[in-house]
Chains A and B, each alone.
Chain A
């Protein structure tokens, strides 16, 4: 397995110089977390221009997620844009509520939550299932595919385009843009800003046209909501929210689907067990989310925040290491083992506290449909070339190449 991230300076000491873009961390971070947890559960680094802390204990991540607004979400990316570019950092990802603190976080979040409630997301099940079947139709006769590129990656952008009322033909563009903004652009500010601006321009056009001529679709509904705080700047607010809906639900969910296929394609016992007993899907899905949690977010201290033995100084970042927390032996029995029938699973793959992923029910629905549809038609499969699997990491971790045969 290899990492898609560019080469980094070797890490000599993970406690004082950690790097979540290190190839070892990207391909398998679990032994690194384990070492840190036992000796230095709050690692730090001064790489990439800013001191940043990496908690690895479940209880610490839970506690840090609740220090609001002292640990601010206004710049939630794990790498901060350099200030010498003359770019306003605070707009690196203007996507409320994820990039906001209360009170803006509260009212923007309330605007979108109803569409992502458990019963509401069920309205996307049939579309998602038809989509998954069409994708499988495209490669099933060949006996092989790339589970990441041909399947997992194709699903979330089309579900989101469908939900937001965008041209379905734009789905591939969305994937390119989101990877540009969040994956490739994490290292390269020029790429990040380029794709951020492409997304903004597209969304401003889409939202403005609905402001002028409302349609029967979700963005028009958001524009029409009676929210006092939004009055007079509806287009600007809904562009920000649409930005979140577009970028937060694409590579995250695709990573989860891809990681689950990776696991089942490399662990034949789990695959056979799940194929033989579909009552295991709910616990298996939560276990995949726990073990392969894709998302790491960041907070930035707005003031000095004492935390245990350390002080997170104003201007420093803390990574919300949800993936690492979910491997803590003190919170999960046999934490480094996948147990697809694990019944006690208090994982925080979707975060914790007021920024709990607003789209978690839709993400779960997409994962559920993607895996059930795959297993119904392709119960026998394996990762055909483990050496050919590549992983993206950093903000969002998941397989980007996944050669599968069946």
Chain B
């Protein structure tokens, strides 16, 4: 599984970072970015889905690997 964050949509709610710091980080301005090029280890697939489903800006999506 691979995810991406749309920087235009992200408004820095930081829900993803709170839920899955293994997958994303945030800069000083709250803007989120994916770690490890967005590649999600198999055992974190549920967490990746969780951050997709909790983003208030619909800014995280699964992409083709």
Does any Cβ of B come within 8 Å of A360's Cβ?
yes
Instruction: Contact check, B12 vs A356: say whether CB atoms are below 8 A apart.
Output: yes
Per a CB cutoff under 8 Å, which of A344, A348, A361 touches B14? A361
Name which residue of chain B comes closest to A345, CB basis: B54
Mask for B5-30, Cβ within 8 A of A = 1, else 0? 00000011111011100000011111
Q: How far is the CB of A321 from chain B (nearest CB, A)?
A: 15
List residues of A (191-222) whose CB comes within 8 Å of B's CBs. Answer: none
* Chain A residues within an 8 Å CB radius of B50: 343-344
Q: How far is the CB of A299 from chain B (nearest CB, A)?
A: 16
* Chain A residues within an 8 Å CB radius of B53: 343-344, 346
Q: How far is the CB of B45 from chain A (nearest CB, A)?
A: 14
Name which residue of chain B comes closest to A356, CB basis: B11
| Alpha-carbon distance between A110 and B27 when the two chains are bound, in angstroms | 12
Instruction: Contact check, B55 vs A346: say whether CB atoms are below 8 A apart.
Output: yes
Mask for B21-41, Cβ within 8 A of A = 1, else 0? 000001111100000000000
* Chain B residues within an 8 Å CB radius of A361: 14, 30
List residues of A (331-354) whose CB comes within 8 Å of B's CBs. Answer: 343-348, 350, 352-354
| Alpha-carbon distance between A113 and B12 when the two chains are bound, in angstroms | 9
* Chain B residues within an 8 Å CB radius of A353: 11, 57
Per a CB cutoff under 8 Å, which of B11, B14, B54 touches A118? B14
* Chain A residues within an 8 Å CB radius of B13: 350, 356, 360
Instruction: Contact check, B54 vs A352: say whether CB atoms are below 8 A apart.
Output: no
Instruction: Contact check, A114 vs B57: say whether CB atoms are below 8 A apart.
Output: no
Count the A residues whose beta carbon is within 8 Å of the partner chain — how many? 23
Give the tally of cross-chain contacts (CB within 8 A): 55
Size bracket, chain B contacts: 20 to 34
* Chain B residues within an 8 Å CB radius of A87: none
Instruction: Contact check, B28 vs A344: say whether CB atoms are below 8 A apart.
Output: no
| Alpha-carbon distance between A356 and B17 when the two chains are bound, in angstroms | 16
Per a CB cutoff under 8 Å, which of B14, B17, B18 touches A282? B18
Per a CB cutoff under 8 Å, which of A117, A282, A344 touches B29? A117
* Chain B residues within an 8 Å CB radius of A364: 18
Per a CB cutoff under 8 Å, which of A117, A282, A352, A356 touches B28? A117
Q: How far is the CB of B7 from chain A (nearest CB, A)?
A: 13
Q: How far is the CB of A144 from chain B (nearest CB, A)?
A: 34
Per a CB cutoff under 8 Å, which of B17, B29, B54 touches A110? B29
| Alpha-carbon distance between A118 and B32 when the two chains are bound, in angstroms | 11
Q: How far is the CB of A234 from chain B (nearest CB, A)?
A: 21
Q: How far is the CB of A368 from chain B (nearest CB, A)?
A: 10
Most chain A beta-carbon neighbours within 10 Å: one of B50, B53, B54:
B54
List residues of A (88-126) whose CB comes within 8 Å of B's CBs. Answer: 110, 113-114, 116-118, 120
* Chain B residues within an 8 Å CB radius of A116: 30
Name which residue of chain B comes closest to A112, CB basis: B29
Q: How far is the CB of A241 from chain B (nearest CB, A)?
A: 15
Q: How far is the CB of B64 from chain A (nearest CB, A)?
A: 23
| Alpha-carbon distance between A352 and B55 when the two chains are bound, in angstroms | 10
* Chain A residues within an 8 Å CB radius of B19: 282
Name which residue of chain B comes closest to A118, CB basis: B14
**A117 and B57 in contact, given A352-B11, A356-B11, A356-B13 (Cβ under 8 angstroms):** no
Q: Which A positions have Cβ atoms within 8 angstroms of B?
A: 110, 113-114, 116-118, 120, 282, 286, 343-348, 350, 352-354, 356, 360-361, 364
Q: Which B positions have Cβ atoms within 8 angstroms of A?
A: 11-15, 17-19, 26-30, 50, 53-58
The contact sample of 20 A-B pairs, CB cut-off 8 A, is A110-B29, A113-B12, A113-B29, A113-B30, A116-B30, A117-B14, A117-B26, A117-B29, A117-B30, A118-B17, A120-B28, A282-B19, A286-B54, A344-B54, A346-B56, A350-B13, A352-B56, A356-B11, A360-B13, A361-B30
